[in-house]
Structure 1
Amino acid sequence: MLQAETPLPDLLANLLGLGGVGVVGAFVAALLASIIVGNVMLAMTGVAGPWAKRKITAKFTDRIAADRIGPKGLGTIPADALRLLSKELIVPEGADRPAWDVAPLIVAGSAMLGFAVIPMGSGIQLADPEVGLAYVFAVASIASLGMVMAGYASNNKYSMLGALRAVAQNLAYEIPLVVTGMSVVLFTGSLRMSEIVAVQQETLVSIGGLAIPSWFAIVNPFAFVLFLAANVAEVGRNPFDIPEAPTEIVAGFQTEYSSVYFVLLYLGEFLHIFLGGAITAVLFLGGAAGPGPESIGFLWFVVKIWAFFLFTQWLRSAAPRLRIDQLIEVGWKGMLELSFLNLVLTALIVGVVV
């Protein structure tokens, strides 16, 4: 098994000579590393939300989309940021503050916390705890709390409906998501994210000189499909966009939000999509593994999470929305049983073969 890479804070501490400063040096290095990773993810989200989403959807629906500001419409990104941030923040009458104020921060912040343990390749990983996978599932699920707070505190029936739908959906699909992820843990014997990636860098089979890596998407495609479906439900994309459902409940839990609060909710939505892609890449697609030297691993990691984003946008254009009763039935009567079946079969294979 390959050795885990040195976490980015330690690399920065050694590079900047902060190793001998003690706790203060470690804190400064961790802060700088967090700023680097956070800004990279925010930059990708800034491109995905106002520009890439529109252009991709336009391609699927035979339209042009954003093309008026800047080359290829890239000027839409700063223009939209300025437009949204300069809007008046309208607080609904009867809103339950500070819950209404804190909810957007929870939705966006929970996704940012998840990236703390993701091994992105090229030495980019903030921390590598032994319970990394459990941690990332735990912090990602905190977003449900933010949605409930937003819906309840808005004093709006449509918002409340969106919040209730969000809770029902996350309960129905988060359990299959975690159980399917545990089947990967049975193969690796570890919750540490770097070790899960390292196991997948071993060669599964060699055909005509071509080495096929032991990515878990190849080893267990059934689990990969289950995890992908549950992941799409977790990030709330079609056919699972029930908590927002614009044609039914305006915008669901975020109906009453405007200005910078809307930006935070919108940001959180896309951050969770990228986090979902990052978790999928780590568990099933070999993390940052790809052709070429290890130094370009981060580029391969970015390609994989953008591929997941493209997949969600394709579903958004191609898949019709399920009814809430259909969504719950698929989750509890289909995904749950299949995820436990996959876990049992994986345990038998590991116990007998491995």
Structure 2
Amino acid sequence: MVTEQMLPETLRTMIGLPDSVLGQAIAAFIAAFLVGNVMLAYTGVAGPWAKRKITAAFTDRIAVDRIGPFGLLIIVADAVRLLAKELIIPENADRPAYDLAPVVVAGSAMLGFAVIPMGGLGPLNIQLADPESGLVYVFAVASIATLGLTMAGYASSNKYSMLGALRAIAQNLAYEIPLVLTGASVVLFTQSLQMSEIVAVQQETLVTIAGFSIPSWFAFVNPFAFALFMVANLAEVGRNPFDIPEAPTEIVAGYQTEYSSVYFVLIYLGEFLHIFLGGAIIATLFLGGAAGPGPESIGFLWFTAKIWGVFLFTQWARSAVPRVRIDQLIEIGWKGMLVLSFANLLLTALLVGVIA
């Protein structure tokens, strides 16, 4: 079992806090604050700037380039613009569900990063906690976002919002089961739900070709499972061809139609946080976590590159893949992805049984 020192323990020692409940709580708060702000910074860059730049590159257009170098100050401009807008509450909104929904959407993603092993950065091991049931935990808290979308759609007193909420429920039911089943196939290989242990198993060499060692990342060991997980993740984060809950050309913006100002910012923030959380889960389960060339002290940089790579894939899908109809989405999920994920789980179990 992997027993590296977690970030809160390292910070407590560095700061000189006492080894008491209060000292551990303060260190844990500081560590969570630092990790949370890094993820928020990634989201701040991805939403207002990177998303527009990537989409423009894919569609042969010119993106933001007028505000600051490379248009980077659009991040500040958008933040000021959105937060300065008037917060308009629908007359018949069901509060406090309407008020809590944006917090639930964003908060569920932030909770997921608590158990993700993000690798080393100098002397620090960037991981807040490492429970033995880490994979179950991250799937559980990520799924809470569905509750937030349902609350937002129901409480908005808007038919388009309600349609978006119902679509979100149907979509997550259809694709979360294949997502979990595909993740379970990785657990069969590792015999552990602990996130650090899943990463550790992938550090071994799968094969050596002409002196070049290919690591036993599960993307190489089981590329079929990797492809299934990537597709299911697109549905979980609401990216094309599975952006049905928003569907701007059909239901305006779905569950978020009636949200403005800081509430809209929180929902928008939650959307991109879930994309990065999905990338973090994919990097952990299939891409060796923070593994990469060079010393372990720069592992966090490799981990960052991998989650941004997943973000790039989601934006490519958004620009290149047309949206499916709601009936097609359900059929793909229940008749396609579910069957394939069960087949993958069965074949993995047979393979592991033969090897064992």
What do residues 238-294 of structure 1 show as CA deviations (whole Å, max 9, x unaligned)?
A: 000000000000000000000000000000000000000000000000000001110
Structure 2 letter corresponding to 1:136: V
- Taking the aligned partners of 2:279 and 2:5, their CA distance within structure 1 comes to 23
SS at match of 1:300: helix
- Taking the aligned partners of 1:234 and 1:18, their CA distance within structure 2 comes to 40
**1:167 aligned onto 2:169:** yes
* 2:312 corresponds to which of 301, 307, 310: 310
The aligned residue for residue 224 of structure 2 is 222
Contact 1:4/1:195 (8 A) holds in 2: no
The aligned residue for residue 202 of structure 1 is 204
Structure 2 letter corresponding to 1:196: I
The aligned residue for residue 130 of structure 1 is 132
- Taking the aligned partners of 2:213 and 2:14, their CA distance within structure 1 comes to 36
Aligned-residue sequence identity (percent) comes to 78
- Taking the aligned partners of 2:21 and 2:3, their CA distance within structure 1 comes to 23
The aligned residue for residue 58 of structure 2 is 60
The aligned residue for residue 142 of structure 2 is 140
SS at match of 2:213: strand
Residue 353 of structure 1 deviates from its aligned partner by 1.2
Contact 1:162/1:252 (8 A) holds in 2: yes
Q: Which runs of 4+ in 1 moved over 6 A?
A: none
The Cα RMSD (Å) is 0.7
- Taking the aligned partners of 1:18 and 1:187, their CA distance within structure 2 comes to 40
The aligned residue for residue 103 of structure 1 is 101
What do residues 294-314 of structure 1 show as CA deviations (whole Å, max 9, x unaligned)?
A: 011000000000000000000
The aligned residue for residue 182 of structure 1 is 184
Structure 1 letter corresponding to 2:82: L
Unaligned segments of structure 1, at least 5 residues: none
The aligned residue for residue 78 of structure 1 is 76
SS at match of 1:211: strand
* 1:341 corresponds to which of 327, 343, 346: 343
Q: Which moved more, 1:11-20 or 1:320-329?
A: 11-20
Unaligned segments of structure 2, at least 5 residues: none
Residue 64 of structure 1 deviates from its aligned partner by 1.1
What do residues 14-63 of structure 1 show as CA deviations (whole Å, max 9, x unaligned)?
A: 1112243x000000000000000000000000000000000000001111
- Taking the aligned partners of 1:27 and 1:295, their CA distance within structure 2 comes to 26
Q: Which moved more, 1:10-19 or 1:95-104?
A: 10-19
* 1:324 corresponds to which of 320, 323, 326: 326
Residue 206 of structure 1 deviates from its aligned partner by 1.4
Structure 2 letter corresponding to 1:224: F
**1:282 aligned onto 2:280:** no
SS at match of 1:190: coil
Structure 1 letter corresponding to 2:11: L
- Taking the aligned partners of 1:5 and 1:160, their CA distance within structure 2 comes to 46
- Taking the aligned partners of 2:326 and 2:3, their CA distance within structure 1 comes to 43
The aligned residue for residue 298 of structure 1 is 300
Structure 2 letter corresponding to 1:62: D
What do residues 181-219 of structure 1 show as CA deviations (whole Å, max 9, x unaligned)?
A: 000000000000000000000111112221110000000
SS at match of 2:132: coil
Residue 4 of structure 1 deviates from its aligned partner by 3.9
